[in-house]
Structure formats: C-alpha cells, structure tokens
Amino acid sequence: MPDARLPDARLLDARLMDAPFDPALELGRFNAGVPESGGVVSFLGKVRADHGVAALEIRHYAPMTLPGFRALAQTAARRWQLDGLLIVHRIGEMGPGDPIVLVAAASGHRRDAFAATDFVMDHLKGEVWLWKRERTAAGWRWIEPRAQDHQDRARWG
C-alpha cells in the first residue's frame, strides 16, 4: 500500500513490483512527498552483468513480504529521525542492468538518512522474505546470502 504513514505522520511507501520501474520517477515522487526534508539519500540495486549472468529471478512469500518491509520501516523510523522511507523491490525475472531495489530515506539531516538507508539494505539482503536465483549458460542456481551479508546485518544489533 503506497503512501502509508510511519509514526508521527511520516511517509512510508513500500511496494513489490512484478514489472520494471523507473528509479528516477519513483525517487522524484518520493522527494515531492517530503518537502520538509533537508536531505534524501537513496540506494539503487541493479542486476549485475558479470559472471555470465543472463537473468535474475526473485521470488517471495506474499503473506510475509510487505508486512516484513513495513515492520523494517517502522524499526528504522524508531532508530532515526526520518520524514519518510521508500522501499521499491522487484520480483520475478530481470535481466542484467535492470533495477532490483530502490531504498530512499528522507530526513532533516543527512546522517539519519544515510544510516536508515544502509540499515534497510542490510536487512533486505539477509531476511528470509525474498529468494533469488540466477541463470547462466550452466542453468539456474539459487543464491544464498553471503557471510558478509550476515555480518552487515548483525552490526545493527
């Protein structure tokens, strides 16, 4: 549900997309919804074009995914002073260079926005809401979180 609210009427937009999205358009809409913010920090994750990857597929468990995204946003809002938080995540099959995920945080000050964006990405990489597999010339293979992904998530306590 786009345009939900975090505590204290702050903007929360968390969505799953089964079709391509335009990161610039999404970020522009988000920015327009938080005019009081002093800064907006964003991260865009794309399908890598290395190691012969021809496609990436992301699957999810619908009853958990958006509620999990929203709970993650609530946690970030409790930790940092945010005016808004945006999470847009693709599901389905994508090709090299396609946007996978866009996370943006708006705040009165840049440090909170940077930290919140980093926190959300670290949790999206390590939570069990999404399963990824990639296709190369050798066929499909599942991608497990790396040890670094778990370490990144653990640093937040």
Residue ranges and CATH numbers for the domains of the chain are 4-146 (3.90.1170.40)
Whole-structure pTM value: 0.90
C-beta of residue 120 within 8 angstroms of C-beta of residue 106:
no
- Could you tell me the two tokens for 118? 């980093």
| pLDDT 10s digits, 107-142 | 999 999 999 999 999 999 877 689 999 999 999 999
Q: What is the largest CA-CA distance in the chain?
A: 51
> Once rounded to an integer, what is the mean pLDDT over residues 75-100?
95
Q: Which residue has the higher pLDDT, 62 or 24?
A: 24
Q: Which of 79, 142, 139, 85 is nearest to 117 (CA)?
A: 85
Side-chain-side CA neighbours of 60 within 13 Å: the count stands at: 22
Residue 10: CB atoms within 10 Å: 21
Q: Is the pLDDT of residue 144 over 80?
A: yes
Q: Running DSSP on this structure, what letter comes out for residue 80? A: S
Please state, in angstroms and rounded to a whole number, the distance separating the CA atoms of residues 143 and 156.
Answer: 23
What's the Cα-to-Cα distance from 139 to each of 55, 87, 104, 134, 142, rounded to whole Å? Answer: 10, 30, 34, 8, 10
The pLDDT of residue 1 is: 42
